Every structure is written in structure tokens, then in C-alpha cells.
Amino acid sequence: MAKEKRSATALAELIAAQMDDDVQVTVAADPDDGWQPTVIASPARVHEKQQQAEWIAKELRKKYDLDE
């Protein structure tokens, strides 16, 4: 089954909507995974939030490809 294509902005919005904080998320192409999220958050929480975004992205990659 073909995956739906989404823009980097749309994928970032999907990830941010599932996170419990006001964080900024960007998405970029990644040669290994297809696409990868990056989180911008307070220094004290950036590692935790990056891990959360990567878990969400892992699930979203099952349904969406990056539309470059």
C-alpha cells in the first residue's frame, strides 16, 4: 500500500499537535529514514522532547512519506 505524501511543514504540524508542550518542530529529509524531526525547546527539556518527537515520527512514517 502506497504511503500518503505530506510536506515537511504538514509533518511537523502533525508531530507538534501530538506533543504536550509548546515546542517548535521542523522536518527535513533523511537518507536513512526518509524524513527526520528536529525539536526546538528549552535547553532543559530539548532531549526529552526530541525523543518524544522521534517516537511520534516513527509511527507517522508508517503512513506518510515526505513530499519533497
Q: Which sequence spans correspond to the domains of the chain?
A: 4-66
5-52, pLDDT tens digit by residue?
999 999 999 999 999 787 999 999 999 999 999 999 989 999 999 999
* pLDDT value of position 37: 98
Q: Cell match 504540524: residue?
A: 13
What is the C-alpha to C-alpha distance for residues 68 and 65, in angstroms, rounded to an integer? 9
pLDDT over 90 (residue 1):
no
* pLDDT value of position 27: 98
Show Cβ contacts of residue 38 under 8 Å, excluding neighbours closer than 6 positions: 25, 26, 27, 28, 50, 53
